[in-house]
Amino acid sequence: MALGETNRLPTHVTTADAPVIEIRDLHKAYGELEVLKGVDITAPAGHVVSLIGSSGSGKSTLLRCANLLEDSQQGEVLFCGEAVTWKGSGLARKPSDAKQVTRIRTNLSMVFQQFNLWAHMTILQNVMEAPITVLGQDPAEVETRARDILNKVGIGDKADVYPAQMSGGQQQRAAIARALCMQPKALLFDEPTSALDPELEQEVVKVIKDLAAEGRTMIIVTHDMRLANDVSDHVVFLHQGKIEEEGPPEAVFGAPKTERLQGFLSATGAA
């Protein structure tokens, strides 16, 4: 397929066993700078896929393309078997169906590195906001669910405080609770622990491990090799916008094949 060619797959091909997220031959550029150079990622239901690699390798960009926060120039993005439809080509390519984008985004909850909580709202209000305003759900039902989730991530006693009154680890757990309250089909984590001190990092790692144990579908961009090893079904090592190596964690971390992956793991202390 030539760079910029528009999507020609049928829009509605959802099947019960289709992956929650599938990316085929994805290319993403910022002007002349090509950040992703033909990447394929599949996240089946109940699986955890971790993206690892050096800074600038394209990990976060790939995650943002999966959530349609960034427009790609070539390739396919499918959600539960449904292909995103596009208009235009090259750097002008955009999704053609705004309702489709909204529907997909509401089923893919993203947790960012910097929490992104609303400072003027309590933690409970932060968690309840999107299901009520975006999904139009009953506030009483949402509140019950939100309080249950806050208890689940270990900050039920912080429901009525404001983000500034909490530690970074508590704020990140609140951000995870906010994502979960949308009842998404998949969770996307963009370096969820990199802004935290090591002690606070472990609070968040425990929550992510618990979610993995529940069988949640997740794609995790992480610098934490131990986390990737512990929770992943599949690990993808990106280098300069391409997949250099991928496989189950025991293969990627236990028997890396390429010199680049061996060097990366050695530099991160994971070798």
The residues facing 188 across adjacent strands are: 110, 219
The phi and psi torsions of 186 (rounded to 5 degrees) equal -150, 150
Return the amino acid letter for 148: D
Strand ranges in the chain using DSSP code E only, listed in sequence order: 21-30, 33-43, 48-52, 74-79, 82-83, 86-87, 94-95, 108-111, 186-190, 218-221, 234-239, 242-247
For 162-198, the pLDDT digits (tens) are 999 999 999 999 999 999 999 999 999 999 998 888 8
Question: Residue 41 pLDDT more than 60?
Answer: yes
pLDDT of residue 15: 55
pLDDT of residue 237: 98
266: Cβ–Cβ under 8 A, 6 or more apart, which residues? none
265: Cβ–Cβ under 8 A, 6 or more apart, which residues? 225, 253, 256, 271
For 46-74, the pLDDT digits (tens) are 999 999 999 999 999 999 999 999 999 99
pLDDT of residue 13: 43
Question: Residue 213 pLDDT more than 60?
Answer: yes
For 115-147, the pLDDT digits (tens) are 899 999 999 999 999 999 999 999 999 999 999
pLDDT band at 270 (very low <50, low <70, confident <90, very high): confident
Q: DSSP secondary-structure letter at 121?
A: S
Residue 255 burial (CB < 10 Å; 0-12/13-18/19+)? exposed
pLDDT of residue 1: 36
CATH 3.20.20.70 fits 1-107+223-271, yes or no: no
For 1-39, the pLDDT digits (tens) are 333 333 333 344 445 689 999 999 999 999 999 999 999
pLDDT band at 199 (very low <50, low <70, confident <90, very high): confident
Per cent of the chain over pLDDT 70 is: 94
pLDDT of residue 9: 36
* Residues 214-243, mean pLDDT to the nearest whole number: 96
Query: Within 13 Å, how many C-alpha atoms sit on residue 209's CB side?
Result: 13
Residue 42 burial (CB < 10 Å; 0-12/13-18/19+)? middle
